[in-house]
Structure formats: C-alpha cells, structure tokens
Amino acid sequence: MTDLNSIINQFIKEDRFQRLIQLDEFYLEKCRILFQEFKYYDISNFRKELIDFSKNISKPFKYITLLENEKDQSIKELLYLIGRLITYFDTKGWNIREWNEYDDKRVISKANLSQYRWLVNFISFKLNECIRWHTR
C-alpha cells in the first residue's frame, strides 16, 4: 500500500494536478450546474410531443438544422439545453466554441459519440427509459 501512496503523492506534486487542487471551484462546475438544470427540466407539458420527436429523429443530421427546423418551442429549448450539455461531455460537441463557456473548452471526455447518440440518450434519460440501469 505504501507503494501506491508514494505513486499518488508523486502525481499530486506535479504542476497540472496542483493547479486542479488549487482551483476555487470544481473543475467542471459549469457542466455540473448545466446537468442539474437538464436533470430537473420539466417535460411534463410536452412529454408526448417529445416521445414523438424522439421516434422521428433521422440520422445523420446536423444539430443546427435540427434546432432551426424544430417548430415546437418547448422541444427547441430542450434541444438547446442538450446541445450545450454535449459541449461539456465530448470534444466533438457541436458549437463547442460558443456553448462551452470555459476558455480552454474543457470536457469530460473525448468520447467521439455521434451527436445523434448523445441526443437520443439524453432524451431517453429525460423520458425515464433508462431507469433500469440508473437504479441498479
């Protein structure tokens, strides 16, 4: 166990880790806040429309086209929120330069998931279709 402790101690002495340790806020605080907004976003007034929308998403698609063509304002607002959230989750998030508010454009991962996959999974999360894996 002391070997592991010494390895950890060596790593945390490095400048890159010291910068993280010294931050005044959580490194991905903006992502955390946005995810909380998404998590508690009320879809009860347009749940049926969101289900219909999710069944009709065709791929490939461009996120900007999806936003511009959506006529239901409630769905459009949710798409905007999801799009912003994706820019904190993946380096390939569409419009990352504008929507990711960090100067260094930090993200959780370089997942390389398609925008389609991100969108479908975030919508599924909102529709509680992922409750089986979420409660395990």
Determine the pLDDT at residue 84: 96
Q: Which H, E and C letters describe 52-89, residue by residue?
A: HHHHCCCCCCCHHHHHHHCCCHHHHHHHHHHHHHHHHH
Model pLDDT for residues 37-76, shown as the tens digit of each residue: 999 999 999 999 999 999 888 877 889 998 999 999 999 9
* Residue 109 φ/ψ, nearest 5 degrees: -155, 170
Task: Please enumerate in sequence order all residues whose Cβ is within 8 A of that of 111, keeping only pairs 6 or more positions apart, or say none.
Answer: 89, 90, 91, 92
CB 54 within 8 A of CB 46: no
Look at the pTM and tell me if it is higher than 0.75: yes
CB 118 within 8 A of CB 124: no
